[in-house]
Structure 1
Amino acid sequence: MQQRHTPEDPQIRLPEDPQVRLPEASSVCLPEAPQVPAPEAPRKHLPQDPQTHAPESSPEPAAADPRARVQPPVPDRRWHLWHLLPTPTGTPFTFGYALVLVATSLYAQLGDPATVGALLRASSTDVAHLTHTPVVALVGSALWVAGGLASPYALGFLVILTALERRIGGLRTAAVFAFGHVAASLATEIPVGVAVWAGHLPETSLHRLDFGISFGLLACVGALAGVLRLAWLRWGLLGAVALVLLQDLIAYADPLTALGHPLALCLGLAGWPVVRRWKAARAAPSYL
């Protein structure tokens, strides 16, 4: 009966056959079984501690060239002809006020002369109207242009108030105009009332025809000179206006107007610190 060959158990020893001997220092090399890698256990997605397990950061992009960075748009400081004229969006106060002056000027030229005369007398800033109806007189006198649309005041109004409003805004321009108009009107008419009361002037001096936008306009001229970027333009504007006012003083055809115009200009000059702060706060581009 044939015996089976079983692997040698270290605890069971077979009887040695004296006739069968293996050569000494010999070993039997059995082929190794291929090693199969054990399947990996599924990984659990645990929350990572930001201090211990920082996520791998993506490689930082190369530093951009500073010259290639997008620069903010630079405001256009070039002067254009349209900057002299008011626009509905850019200078709404001057544009709306100019339309009112055009309408009143056309009505004064084409309307009924008796009605126009009555409106002008009611709008006069003389002592009699300032005493009885001050608001109507002060507001109404600023709605007319002395001399109509052909007057130099009409062109000066468009250019000066447009330039001032572009720098300090519409409400502030209106404040400068109103301050010069009211303050110069009161400063010229109150002395007349005092002189009549003291007996130095006749009572007819209490009733005079005085209307127009000249006082407010000259106050805006003085304020505009303080916010002009070019020094030669600032002093050139003041020099030209001062020359015209000096001629009026020499002629002295209308004493109150001749004195009120320089006063209104000085009121605008006195407001330089205020209008310069307004311009700096608004940060508007200065073309001139």
Structure 2
Amino acid sequence: MNGVTEVRAGLPPRGGAARWRRWPGRVLPGPRTTPFTFWYALLLVATSLFAAYADPARVAELLRGSSTDAAHLAATPVRVLVASALWIDGGLLSGFALAFVVVPAALERRVGAARTLAVFLGGHVLATLATELPVGAAVATGALPPGAAHRLDYGISYGVMTCAGALTGVLPGRLRWLLLGGAACYATADLLTFADPLSSAGHLLSLALGVTAWPLLRRARSGPRPARLHGDLGHPALRRPVARPAVARPVPGRPVPVAGARRR
């Protein structure tokens, strides 16, 4: 138009610019779309900042008290299972911190907050018990030294890996196998380094736990959707017939009333 730029006032941008502006809302958690991931992420940010800037002795004491080692699981299992999920091993710049922002949020958008919470906590608890209870049994039988029962163990990695395994079940074909293969390769490579074999085995187990949740999550997605606002009536069974106003039929010999006319 001879160098004149057309401006569409009040309308969203077209093409690639609109997609680039919308992608943060589709990837990052939000208080309305993904409330579980959003508020949990804020809690993790707070605890991570405390761990980074508070007194190191106080932080070490809290982490030790939150550890899900065999000794703590035998004494106060519920407390340490909850407290250990309030910290990020490695801080805000760790890989699992970045994965938490994306993976549980993507799962929550597809299956809801309650099921995402169940998947995360289920993986966190089951993988912790599966890796630490054998250690406690080995210490009790003398196969391991007593110090093994006080191994420092905390963080969100088991829950994140379980959510990653569950997310692959509700993604389309290529994305499903790409995410599952990448997560499995990471956990396997970490196990082969033998730096922390117990945690690495827990990561593989967590991923497998998420995969076992595929049938439940798919069944939940295939069920009837509840009715939503803004004109979406959801499932046909939830639709209600709309009552139409009665129309008066003309009677022979009587004038038809006209809207807006008044009788005198």
- The equivalent of 1:114 in structure 2 is 57
- Rounded to whole Å, the distance in 1 between the matches of 2:196 and 2:161 is 17
**1:97 to 2:40 alignment:** yes
Matched residue type, 2:173: A
- Rounded to whole Å, the distance in 1 between the matches of 2:32 and 2:224 is 16
- The equivalent of 2:80 in structure 1 is 137
- The equivalent of 2:252 in structure 1 is none
* Dislocated runs of 4+, deviation >6 Å: none
Q: 1:87 aligns with which of 30, 50, 63?
A: 30
Q: 2:194 aligns with which of 244, 252, 259?
A: 252
- Point out where structure 1 has 5 or more consecutive residues left out of the alignment: 1-77
Matched residue type, 2:214: W
Change (3 A) 1:283 1:226: farther
Question: What is the Cα deviation at residue 199 of structure 1?
Answer: 1.2
- The equivalent of 1:52 in structure 2 is none
Question: What is the Cα deviation at residue 280 of structure 1?
Answer: 2.2
Aligned-partner SS, 1:148: coil
- Point out where structure 2 has 5 or more consecutive residues left out of the alignment: 1-18, 227-264
**1:225 to 2:168 alignment:** yes
Matched residue type, 1:177: F
- Rounded to whole Å, the distance in 2 between the matches of 1:257 and 1:150 is 19
How is 1:182-197 mapped onto 2 (pairs within 5 angstroms)? 182-197=125-140
**1:181 to 2:181 alignment:** no
Question: What is the Cα deviation at residue 282 of structure 1?
Answer: 6.5
Question: What is the Cα deviation at residue 283 of structure 1?
Answer: 4.5
> Are 1:125 and 1:141, in contact at CA under 8 Å, matched by a contact in 2?
yes
Aligned-partner SS, 1:219: helix
Matched residue type, 1:221: A
Q: How many aligned residue pairs are there?
A: 206
Matched residue type, 1:135: V
Matched residue type, 1:182: V
Q: Which has the larger radius of gyration?
A: 1
> Are 1:144 and 1:213, in contact at CA under 8 Å, matched by a contact in 2?
yes
Q: Taking structure 2 as the reference length, what is the TM-score of the superposition?
A: 0.76
Matched residue type, 2:222: A
Question: What is the Cα deviation at residue 268 of structure 1?
Answer: 0.5
- The equivalent of 1:238 in structure 2 is 180
1:63-120: CA deviation from partner (whole Å, max 9, x where unpaired): xxxxxxxxxxxxxxx8941211011111111000000000000000011111111110
How is 1:2-41 mapped onto 2 (pairs within 5 angstroms)? none
- Rounded to whole Å, the distance in 2 between the matches of 1:88 and 1:107 is 23
- Rounded to whole Å, the distance in 2 between the matches of 1:254 and 1:152 is 16
- Rounded to whole Å, the distance in 2 between the matches of 1:279 and 1:220 is 16
Matched residue type, 1:138: L
- Rounded to whole Å, the distance in 1 between the matches of 2:225 and 2:29 is 19
Question: What is the Cα deviation at residue 159 of structure 1?
Answer: 0.4
Q: Taking structure 1 as the reference length, what is the TM-score of the superposition?
A: 0.69
1:185-207: CA deviation from partner (whole Å, max 9, x where unpaired): 00000110111112110010000
Aligned-partner SS, 1:147: coil
Matched residue type, 1:173: T
How is 1:146-157 mapped onto 2 (pairs within 5 angstroms)? 146-157=89-100
- The equivalent of 1:205 in structure 2 is 148
